[in-house]
Amino acid sequence: MPQSNSDPTQNTFNISNSSITNLVGSGSIQYNAATQKAEVSPESENDKKVILFLAAQPLTTARLRLDEEVREIEEGLKRSKYRDRFELIQKWAVRPRDLQRAMLECNPSIVHFSGHGIGRPTHTPSADTQFPDAARKFQLVDPPVNPAGTFEEGIILEDQVGQPKLISTEALSTLFELFADRVQCVVLNACYSERQAQAIAQHIPYVIGMNQAIGDRAAIEFAIGFYDALGAGETIERAYQLGQVAIQMEGIAEHLTPVLVPKSN
């Protein structure tokens, strides 16, 4: 048994071949070198989820309040319970090369596109929807037609001089296939984007698209509700439902327009 020093101010304890002196009392200390490494908490920097916000509004398209959308998302996350778990990165006037670069540089868990889409609705509303503001749809004078003779659909980015640039469903699906090991959710906050969502969902766990045209106000309210819920620790499924409710709470009859598409088996 270790013997204490008769001088209580001069007790010595050996710890891994080192000594600590001038400790009052006696006894022994068991030291495990493995405990020297600190544990990493779930909210550490390494576990932070990056939300990549991509915005495109070509010069000839209707003005959308994309700045309000990202501001509300940012403020909601800052106030949220789990704000340290998220990082919001914004990319504006996005061109095709910008999209690919952002995916490589930012390593996002969630990719959110806001802007215009072109296509046809994937369901027929019971009555014509009246938008109180600009809708996030884009009409081409001469819409592109693929070799099969069908109408080309996709989201609208910008070209080198700020003009509309259509990104096809196939191109989007192929891009996200290459990032399937890291992206958990894609939000296409643009009109007629459900078909793109279905294609991307072959590779990504959760994708949200719009089954018809969506008004700017409804799109913003959905985004606010969705990210407020994620910041509160809700699942993607619950966040999607709360995004729909956020549209309803504003008295906008478009809450069934956003569609959640889980990964195809």
pLDDT value at 64 more than 90: yes
Tell me which of 188 and 10 has the higher pLDDT: 188
Quickly state the pLDDT bin for 170 (edges 50, 70, 90). very high
DSSP β-bridge partners for residue 52: 89, 111
User: Which pLDDT value is given to residue 78?
Assistant: 97
- φ, ψ of residue 47 in degrees (nearest 5): -95, 5
User: Which pLDDT value is given to residue 7?
Assistant: 53
User: Which pLDDT value is given to residue 172?
Assistant: 96
Query: Minimum mean pLDDT among 117-126, 169-178, 254-263: which range?
Result: 117-126
Tokens 């994708």 belong to: 207
The pLDDT tens digits for 23-61 are 444 444 444 444 333 333 334 445 799 999 999 999 988
pLDDT value at 88 more than 60: yes
Quickly state the pLDDT bin for 204 (edges 50, 70, 90). very high
Long-range contacts of 176-181 (CB under 8 A, 24+ apart): 176/111, 176/200, 176/203, 176/204, 177/202, 177/203, 179/103, 180/204
Task: Compute the average pLDDT of residues 140-160.
Answer: 66
Sorted by sequence, the CB contacts under 8 Å of residue 248 that are 6+ apart come out as 255
User: Which pLDDT value is given to residue 121?
Assistant: 87
Q: Is 0.85 surpassed by the pTM of this model?
A: no
Quickly state the pLDDT bin for 207 (edges 50, 70, 90). very high
Task: Compute the average pLDDT of residues 117-131.
Answer: 67
Quickly state the pLDDT bin for 197 (edges 50, 70, 90). very high
Buried b (16+ CB within 10 A) or exposed e, 168-203: bbebbbebbeebeeebebbbbbbbbbbbbbbbbbeb
* C-alpha dist (Å) from residue 43 to 81, 82, 182: 12, 8, 18
Q: What percentage of residues in the chain have a pLDDT greater than 90?
A: 66
- Mean pLDDT over the full length of the chain: 82
